[in-house]
Amino acid sequence: MPEVRRGSLAPVSESALSSTDTPGSSGVTRPSQSHRDSRDRVRFDVPEEATSPTSPREPLDSAFAELPRRATSESVRRNSEAPRRSSDAPRRSLSYAQRPQADAYYDSRAATQKEYRRRATTLLEYYDENPQLLPQLPFTWHHGWKRWRLFMFAFLVFVDASAVPIALYYGLKYAGDVEGWIIFAVVTTIWGGPTYLEFAIRTLRLIKVDRFYRPLGTNSRWCFDMLTYSSTLTIFVVTALFIIGSAPHKVWLRVLCMPAPAILYCYGGVLFLITLFHQMNWPAPFRISSTAKGEKVLPGAYYFIEDVIAVNAIGGRPYREALAARYKASPRFREMVYKQSWFWSIPALVLAVPLTVISVIPQVPATGAYGVAWAVPFLWAVIWGIITIQWCKRDMRREREEWELGVDPEKEIKRKGSSIETAS
């Protein structure tokens, strides 16, 4: 598949597809694949042998041009054969033979366990040997079932953690006239079901004999990532608040207002502390995901991205390797992750403070404070998520353009700063 090289706007072909046509055959001919013995080892920088010994190896552009397209109309055929760029609309979920040429190297199969077992070099080693290439992340929102798995998980967490407690409390209290201790016995039993299940699944993945999901630099089955520790802290605090608030026969409603702000304190606090360690250039006091003890700490958002995609989205170690290579190679990517760390940590802590005040002061009715304290954090997360998506799309598009033009963002920023000082 084509790759983006530094200082070159034209994608350079790395591998080629060979197609075999038989007389009288019609329809789409899929590119033939060379089948190797499972004992053979694969290197990313070694091209596969051509399947046809009589035909020379062709570049990817011509191979795609010769593949017939399945089209029902002339307009569909023209659209499928037209070249696409990264600024166009997202591509549909098509087979590999029917997908249009991409502007960057990407292969979702690099993050599969089968490819992980048969390879002979890591993505970090591959991109170290090819520094002219922009490291690509083996995960995409454009196609594949992993994106839908993450989306459904986020939707279920929102419904279970925010909508269910609010709907059950106000519905049972005002429509059914049910006592408070019964209401919160139900809420405590139901709340967090998808979250606890996903937490158990990701923990089992990390302790499996196969090290596919574990952080880089360790093979220990009991070396968990940062998201596991953060989630454990959050689950402990939220469960304690539920028990304390619902234990009396007359429930303490103001205590039961605090689980949602407590989530902001836990995740926002962990994200803030990790980013502070990065800002102050303090060494890691213990292993933080793929960062060993004593090494330089990266921004907090880096670890949350790494752990969620590697374990929850089943990206595994290939994604951790690709993310580390991308962070190492791209100054624009490092800047984006750094800004996102502060963008999520500081507002989370700032928002948790007024919600805590609203939950405890007697001037605000407890029944009203309950709805505000449970709804606002999740609505804020949705708004921040939408802003983050647009922000990251813009930064990654700029990153791609700068890489293709051979522009160093750090030098460009310094040059602009010096020109402003000279002008003043």
What does the alpha-carbon distance between residue 17 and residue 353 come to, in Å, rounded to a whole number? 58
What does the alpha-carbon distance between residue 360 and residue 235 come to, in Å, rounded to a whole number? 22
| Residue pointed to by tokens 């080629």 | 16
Count other C-beta atoms under 10 Å from residue 406's C-beta: 12
| Residue pointed to by tokens 């449970």 | 374
**Which pLDDT score, from 0 to 100, does residue 329 have?**
93
In this structure, the strands spanning 2-3 and 12-13 are: antiparallel
**Which pLDDT score, from 0 to 100, does residue 100 have?**
62
**Which pLDDT score, from 0 to 100, does residue 81 have?**
47
Six-digit token pair at 316? 């595994």
What does the alpha-carbon distance between residue 17 and residue 30 come to, in Å, rounded to a whole number? 9
- To the nearest 10°, the Cα dihedral for 76, 77, 83, 84? 20
**Which pLDDT score, from 0 to 100, does residue 374 have?**
94
Q: How many angstroms from the chain centroid is the CA of residue 11?
A: 25
Considering the chain, what percentage of its residues have pLDDT values greater than 70? Answer: 69
Q: Using one digit for the tens of pLDDT, what is the confidence trace for 84-116?
A: 444 445 545 666 566 665 544 445 556 677 777
What does each of the 424 residues of the chain score in pLDDT, given as a tens digit? 445 566 554 444 444 334 444 444 444 333 333 334 444 444 444 444 444 444 433 343 433 333 333 333 444 344 444 444 444 455 456 665 666 655 444 455 566 777 777 776 788 888 888 888 889 888 777 766 767 777 888 888 888 888 889 998 998 888 878 888 888 888 888 888 888 888 999 999 999 888 889 999 988 888 899 999 999 999 999 999 999 998 888 899 999 999 999 999 999 999 999 999 999 999 999 999 999 999 999 999 999 999 999 998 888 899 999 999 999 999 999 999 999 999 999 999 999 999 999 999 999 999 999 999 999 999 999 999 999 999 999 999 999 999 988 877 666 656 655 554 454 4
**Which pLDDT score, from 0 to 100, does residue 97 have?**
65
Cα 418 to Cα 249, 412, 414, distances in angstroms: 68, 10, 6
Q: How many angstroms from the chain centroid is the CA of residue 261?
A: 24
What does the alpha-carbon distance between residue 119 and residue 125 come to, in Å, rounded to a whole number? 12
**Which pLDDT score, from 0 to 100, does residue 30 have?**
36
Smallest CA-to-CA distance from 212 within 110, 317, 312 is with 317
What does the alpha-carbon distance between residue 369 and residue 321 come to, in Å, rounded to a whole number? 45
Six-digit token pair at 205? 């993945």
Q: How many residues does the chain have?
A: 424
Q: Using one digit for the tens of pLDDT, what is the confidence trace for 32-83?
A: 333 344 444 444 444 444 444 444 333 434 333 333 333 334 443 444 444 4
Contacts of residue 140, defined as CB under 8 A and 6 or more positions apart, other chains included, come to 106, 108, 147
**Which pLDDT score, from 0 to 100, does residue 413 have?**
59
What does the alpha-carbon distance between residue 332 and residue 415 come to, in Å, rounded to a whole number? 16
What does the alpha-carbon distance between residue 179 and residue 186 come to, in Å, rounded to a whole number? 11
Residues 320 and 138: beta-carbon distance below 8 Å: no
Contacts of residue 327, defined as CB under 8 A and 6 or more positions apart, other chains included, come to 298, 302, 333, 334, 337
3-state secondary structure the chain: CEECECCCCCCEECCCCECCCCCCCCCCCCCECCCCCCCCCECCCCCCCCCCCCCCCCCHHHHHHHCCCCCCCHHHHHHHHCCCCCCCCCCCCCCCCCCCCCCCCCCHHHHCHHHHHHECCCHHHHHHHCCCECCCCCCCCCCCHHHHHHHHHHHHHHHHHHHHHHHHHHHHHHHCCCCHHHHHHHHHHHCCHHHHHHHHHHHHHHHCCCCCCCCCCCCCCCCCCHHHHHHHHHHHHHHHHHHHHHCCCCCCHHHHCCHHHHHHHHHHHHHHHHHHHHHCCCECCCCECCECCCCECCCHHHHHHHHHHHHHCCCHHHHHHHHHHHHHHCHHHHHHHHHHHHHHHHHHHHHHHHHHHHHHCCCCCHHHHHHHHHHHHHHHHHHHHHHHHHHHHHHHHHHHHHHHHCCCHHHHHHHHHHHHHHHC
**Which pLDDT score, from 0 to 100, does residue 59 have?**
40
Beta bridge partners, 288, equal 291
